[in-house]
Amino acid sequence: MKDKSYKFGKMSVIVFGFAILLFQKNLFTGEIGKQKNGFSSPKTNTSVWKTYTNEKYGFEIRYPEDLIVSTPYGPEQVNIQGNSRLYIITVAELTGTAIINGEERMIANLSPREIVEMNLSQITKKDNLGYIKWLIKRIGDVEAYEALSSSDITVDKYLPWLAFKRNNRIYQIRFLKGFVEEFEKIIASLRF
């Protein structure tokens, strides 16, 4: 009898450990209802959203009424935040050079995907970047690249991350914490 209870106890620990591992994976990759950080998605009624207009770069974006907008570094960085949610929009001129795979290249000649990978390689190992799932989408008249998810947890915590080029500038919209559905609706509201 002792042998059976030992096997049952050992099997319970293995199953419980596996369940915790799956829950943690889902929590960090956003697979629980497609939400990061385990939050459940609010009902998204975009008709009551506010609008932020960036005069310098000529765009506007809508955001939920319970969030606030700040521009801590000027119009080049727009933070939309509140209630454990943070979305960041950055705009930069495409000037200078960067070393990509050991080769010096003009930043203006890099694709949005290469720019996101360049930024991610500054905060994680370059080897981790091969596991990113990419989506190409249209935002108005431009092609955007969105890094949706990664099987590497050190990269996935920075995703999704959308980037596109327009008028010799790179626009990047980053999701740091919040709701994936809300993030996608914020992106869809972007107008020039």
Q: Which amino acid is at 187?
A: I
Q: Which CATH architecture has domain 38-188?
A: 3-Layer(aba) Sandwich (3.40)
CA distance linking residue 147 with residue 154, whole number of Å: 14
The pLDDT of residue 27 is above 90: no
Q: How far is CA 24 from the centre of its chain?
A: 18
For residue 34, the 8-state DSSP code is: T
Q: Which residue has the higher pLDDT, 177 or 22?
A: 177
> Cis peptide leading into 75, omega within 30 of 0?
no
- Identity (one letter) of the amino acid at 83? N
Confidence of residue 172 (pLDDT cuts 50, 70, 90): very high
Tell me what percent of the residues of the chain surpass a pLDDT of 90.
Answer: 53
What DSSP letter does each residue of 143-157 carry, written as one string? EEEEEEEESSHHHHT
Mean pLDDT for the chain overall:
80
Helices marked H in 30-150 — which ranges?
112-121
Summarised one tens digit per residue, pLDDT across range 79-114 is: 999 988 999 999 999 999 998 888 999 999 999 999
19 pLDDT band, cuts 50/70/90, is: very low
Quote the pLDDT of residue 5: 46
Query: Contact, 59 vs 190, CB < 8 A?
Result: yes
3-class SS letters over 160-190: CEEEEEECCEEEEEEEEECEHHHHHHHHHCC
User: Using CA of residue 102, residue 106, residue 112, residue 118, what is the dihedral sign?
Assistant: positive
Q: Rounded distance, CA 172 to CA 96, Å?
A: 18
Q: How many residues does the chain have?
A: 192
